[in-house]
Structure 1
Amino acid sequence: MGTVVDAANKEANRSVLTNKKVTVVFVLGGPGSGKGTQCANVVEHFGYTHLSAGDLLRAEIKSGSENGTMIQNMIKDGKIVPSEVTIKLLQRAIEENGNDKFLIDGFPRNEENRAAFELVTGIEPEFVLFFDCSEEEMERRLLSRNQGREDDNIETIRKRFKVYMESSLPVIEYYNSKGKVRKIDATKPAVEVFGAVKALFTPLNSVPTIILSHVSA
């Protein structure tokens, strides 16, 4: 009996080119680095569509689809959802959206995610927006915000930092070696941070976009 990964790989092999041209920017940074705030600013000022891999997975679970049930069961069993499943959701969101500019927030989470995304979609990011923030500052922000999140306690926060450091930093190092990382000092006030972000996105209007390879239905 084939696995979820096998099925996703078979679909990936049936990828065909479409005429849709897209610009993709990966947004990375530790928990509490301000990614969400700055993504909202980019959406408002530059017309990007903000895609979060985690939000797409949660939406698929809520939809009650067979795929959503599979994702929910894997999470309940403590299994990691295969990269191909998450990528398929991202790809579908891109295909079904009328926009051609996307921020992909919090993805790729590790090197396997990165390699699978490029293989399946044929997309390399225009650049990687990396919010560089000290662990002490991220910890302070997470503990001070009042959002009722159960994971905003010191023990869980430090575990999240550890996972982030071990899994996401190799992705940043990979793209840095290709000259694609744009590092932002995220310890500064949000207004100053957006000033630096704004300077990066303003020239993109004249940058050629890339063609999206998508999974056929």
Structure 2
Amino acid sequence: MGSVAPFSAFEPAPARGWREGLSQKSLLSSAEASGESPRERRVSEAEAEAIKFPGLLRGRCPGCPFGRPLPALAKAMASKLLRAVILGPPGSGKGTVCQRIAQSFGLQHLSSGHFLRENIKANTEVGDMAKQYIEKGLLVPDHVITRLMMSELENRRGQHWLLDGFPRTFVQAEALDRICELDLVITLNIPFETLKDRLSRRWIHPPSGRVYNLDFNPPHVHGIDDITGEPLVQQEDDKPEAVAARLRQYKDVAKPVIELYKSRGVLHQFSGTETNKIWPYVYMLFSNKITPIQSKEAY
């Protein structure tokens, strides 16, 4: 899992969207005058600074969430690798779609839920912090989950990756924005009644995070995990009376995140109730960005 930065590195700080000391207004105006896009202009400015002041790249970036230097030049280098995010409410099938994308295109599937379970099991500092909230039935706060994910992303700077479960909030999206520029963001739109039915019929194996649905993905033996033979449980917030509240909360929190990525032209929305029906379109979208290693007919 790698070392994790101290919590002080993740305390809220004023937004610093433009790391090289240039204002957004002046940078945009200079880009317009040169005929370059703002993104191209940011890269060229950073490259020029690196040539004139090479030591700058080794200095601390005051807005970097994990306390390491990541100016625009590093972001430009990272942009050569595919950076993708999948969004969707509980029960939308994000995990299934992510697994297919990862296997078809060789991307690292980075699940915030998986990393949380790993850290809690290993009794790391961030895991113990998250556990306190989870045991009380509370959401893990932004500064804890952001610290966890920034550390994991730092360890995978040289890999193509697909994020699942992060960012969930606008604050988390801002933190991610400080270290990379996303190429693709997918959001899954599933009818409300379908989500309610799926979640109400969902059972999980807590140690591994494996999810079963009694309708379309049932365990071989009712109530028993296929791999370990251990008992399955239904989470309190998967029970019918809690599902509607969860879905409303997701909609409220996700809306500004979706609007952010929509405004940047990287958002792609897929609607449907069956993964197999939307999969060919998801596959085609990723094929335009990265060479597949497995055909879509494999599923």
Which TM-score bucket, shorter chain as reference?
0.7 to 0.9
- Mapping of 1:1-217 within 5 angstroms? 6-9=8-11, 12=65, 14-17=67-70, 22-76=81-135, 80-97=139-156, 100-119=159-178, 122-144=179-201, 145-146=213-214, 148-150=233-235, 151-187=237-273, 189-205=274-290
Alpha-carbon offset, residue 108 of structure 1: 1.3
Q: Secondary structure at the match of 1:69?
A: helix
Q: Which residue number corresponds to residue 209 of structure 1?
A: none
User: Once the two structures are superposed, what CA deviation does each residue of 1:76-101 show, in whole Å capped at 9, x if it has no partner?
Assistant: 45665443432332233233348611
Root-mean-square deviation (Å): 2.6
TM-score by length of 2: 0.59
Whole-angstrom distance in 1 between the partners of 2:158 and 2:100: 17
Whole-angstrom distance in 1 between the partners of 2:261 and 2:251: 16
Q: How many residues align?
A: 200
Alpha-carbon offset, residue 41 of structure 1: 0.7
Structure 1: which amino acid aligns with 2:262?
Answer: N
Q: Secondary structure at the match of 2:149?
A: helix
User: Once the two structures are superposed, what CA deviation does each residue of 1:92-141 show, in whole Å capped at 9, x if it has no partner?
Assistant: 3233348611111122111111112223xx21221210111111111222
Q: Secondary structure at the match of 2:83?
A: strand
Alpha-carbon offset, residue 56 of structure 1: 1.1
Alpha-carbon offset, residue 195 of structure 1: 0.7
Which structure 1 residue ranges, 5 or more long, are not aligned? 207-217
1:198–1:70 CA distance, 2 compared to 1 (3 A): same
Alpha-carbon offset, residue 152 of structure 1: 2.5
State the identity %.
31
Whole-angstrom distance in 2 between the partners of 1:6 and 1:80: 20
Alpha-carbon offset, residue 74 of structure 1: 4.0
1:95–1:163 CA distance, 2 compared to 1 (3 A): same
1:185–1:178 CA distance, 2 compared to 1 (3 A): same
Of 4-13 and 95-104, deviating more is 4-13
TM-score by length of 1: 0.80
* Structure having the higher Rg: 2
Whole-angstrom distance in 1 between the partners of 2:157 and 2:265: 29
1:88–1:23 CA distance, 2 compared to 1 (3 A): farther
Relative to its length, the structure with more strand (as a share) is: 1
User: Once the two structures are superposed, what CA deviation does each residue of 1:136-193 show, in whole Å capped at 9, x if it has no partner?
Assistant: 1112222342364323321121111011111012211121122111001132x32111
Say whether the 8 Å CA contact 1:83–1:116 is kept in structure 2: no
Say whether the 8 Å CA contact 1:34–1:186 is kept in structure 2: no
Say whether the 8 Å CA contact 1:84–1:116 is kept in structure 2: no
Whole-angstrom distance in 1 between the partners of 2:101 and 2:186: 11
1:142–1:38 CA distance, 2 compared to 1 (3 A): same
Of 92-101 and 125-134, deviating more is 92-101
Structure 1's consecutive aligned runs of 4 or more residues displaced over 4 angstroms after TM superposition are: 18-21, 77-80
Whole-angstrom distance in 1 between the partners of 2:83 and 2:154: 13
Structure 2: which amino acid aligns with 1:199?
Answer: M
User: Once the two structures are superposed, what CA deviation does each residue of 1:186-205 show, in whole Å capped at 9, x if it has no partner?
Assistant: 32x32111111101100112
Of 31-40 and 88-97, deviating more is 88-97
